[in-house]
Amino acid sequence: MVSVVIPCLNEEEQITECVIAARKALDDAGLSGEVVVADNDSDDDSAELARKAGARVIEETHRGYGSAYLAGFGAAEGKYIVMADADLTYDFAEIPRFVAALEQGAELVMGNRMERIQPGAMPWLHRYIGNPLLSGFLNLLYRSGIKDAHCGMRGLRRDALPRLDLHSTGMEFASEMVIRAVKEELKISELEIEYHPRSGESKLSSFRDGWRHLRLLLVHSPNALFIMPGAVLLALGGIGIALVALEISVFGREFSLHALIAAALLAIVGTQTMALGVSARAFGVYYMRERPDRLFTWGRERLRLEHGLALGGLILLAGLITGGIIIGTWIGRGFGELSEEKLAVVAAVLTIVGLQVIFSSFFLSILGLRRDSGRSRG
């Protein structure tokens, strides 16, 4: 019924105690189950000691927190999986509580350490800065509502693993599980648990692993990484171009050519960034089986390649007409000196943005072929 999966890298000092404690928790609660130790290429006797204590040991030579868990999940045979580290920071007697929550309908059960941290169990940098900031940022982007997104003791249904489709091999595996659970709309619950001082040497690198968590949060959110910043840049660029082109003063000051060039760069970069974001979102939906949000669904149902081509074509035409006016003025002056710098910048922006919209529309159409081919086969 239950598979307790424990990742292990050079934990010979405490792995025996962990396996015995996990086995005892199952037996005391009358739960049929197994203890699976995913040995992550340990240099010591961890694997052999785990076997002697009654665990089934799975060897995973590719080192990494996520790699060990992926190997352990692949070998687990229980209906429910309970995760816990091999450093005695978690109380294995809590296993029945996680199983009970899964039995009551939860698909992912998260431990919450933050209210019951024993003295000396968590460095102040992790307790007051790292974990609150990363958990808060995760909730801001994905609205998970999880208070402790990096707790290592969790429970999940084994039949939910295909939906989670986990791939991360490092410590960021913990964040990926929460992100994927939110995107797949799994039923998530939290249990308050105690967090004890660890035994043995920590494998966590605060800044490197913190960056890997942050990187994963951004990569899985094209809206936050591309679309929102791109929209802000495009809006600022458009406002700047309008202020200069219409000679509108702000606080008694008029902006000229240099401000126009800066605004043009913002508009161009903003357009390209938004196009990357929409493309990344489409890739996630069509190729990574992510659930589309409401805005993406609305656009997919109502917008076609021709709409993008029409919009891009109109913007491009405006740029070409503006450029034609400049050329016509030049010809009218007998091919002499021409001082239409501002108009030339506007023409260049319109032309570049128009081309970006056209080619991005074609790229989105290519990504959408996967959906269309699926429908035709159906």
**Based on the number of CB atoms within 10 Å of its own CB, is 78 exposed (0-12), middle (13-18) or buried (19 or more)?**
buried
At residue 371 the predicted structure's pLDDT band, cuts being 50, 70 and 90, is low
User: Residue 126 CB: number of other CB atoms within 10 A?
Assistant: 17
Which tokens go with 313?
Answer: 């074509």
What pLDDT, on a 0 to 100 scale, did the predictor assign at position 378?
43
What pLDDT, on a 0 to 100 scale, did the predictor assign at position 370?
60
pLDDT in tens, 32-79: 999 999 999 999 999 999 999 999 999 999 999 999 999 999 999 999
Percent of the chain exceeding pLDDT 70 equals 97
Which tokens go with 18?
Answer: 């962990």
Residue 222, pLDDT > 80, answer: yes
Burial 319-332 (b: 16+ CB within 10 A, else e): beebbeebeeeeee
For the entire predicted model, the pTM comes to 0.81
> What's the CATH fold of domain 2-219?
Spore Coat Polysaccharide Biosynthesis Protein SpsA; Chain A (3.90.550)
pLDDT in tens, 289-314: 788 888 888 888 889 999 999 999 99
Nearest to 277 by CA among 237, 223, 352: 223
Length of the chain: 378
Which whole-number Å values give the CA distances from 277 to 85, 283, 316, 318, in the listed order? 36, 10, 22, 25
**Axis crossing angle, helix 257-287 with helix 228-245, rounded to the nearest 10:** 150
Residue 26, pLDDT > 80, answer: yes
Which tokens go with 337?
Answer: 């000196």
What pLDDT, on a 0 to 100 scale, did the predictor assign at position 131?
86
pLDDT in tens, 153-173: 999 999 999 999 999 999 999
Per DSSP bridges, beta strands 80-83 and 154-157 are antiparallel
Residue 108: phi and psi, rounded to 5, are -140, 125
At residue 372 the predicted structure's pLDDT band, cuts being 50, 70 and 90, is low
The strand pairing partners of 189, in sequence order, are: 109
- What distance in Å separates the CA atoms of residue 96 and residue 159, rounded to the nearest whole number? 19
Contact yes or no for 94/139 (Cβ under 8 A): no
Average pLDDT over every residue of 206-215: 84
What pLDDT, on a 0 to 100 scale, did the predictor assign at position 376?
42
Q: Radius of gyration (Cα) for the chain, nearest Å?
A: 28
Element (H, E) at 2: strand 2-8
186 or 338: which carries more pLDDT confidence?
A: 186
**Based on the number of CB atoms within 10 Å of its own CB, is 28 exposed (0-12), middle (13-18) or buried (19 or more)?**
exposed
* DSSP state letter for 1: -
Average pLDDT over every residue of 339-359: 92
Residue 196: phi and psi, rounded to 5, are -100, 160
DSSP per-residue string spanning 123-184: -HIIIIIIHHHHHHHHHHHH----S-TT-S-EEEEGGGHHHH-----STTHHHHHHHHHHHT
Locate the domains of the chain by residue range: 2-219, 222-377
What pLDDT, on a 0 to 100 scale, did the predictor assign at position 375?
47
Average pLDDT over every residue of 132-155: 92
At residue 334 the predicted structure's pLDDT band, cuts being 50, 70 and 90, is confident
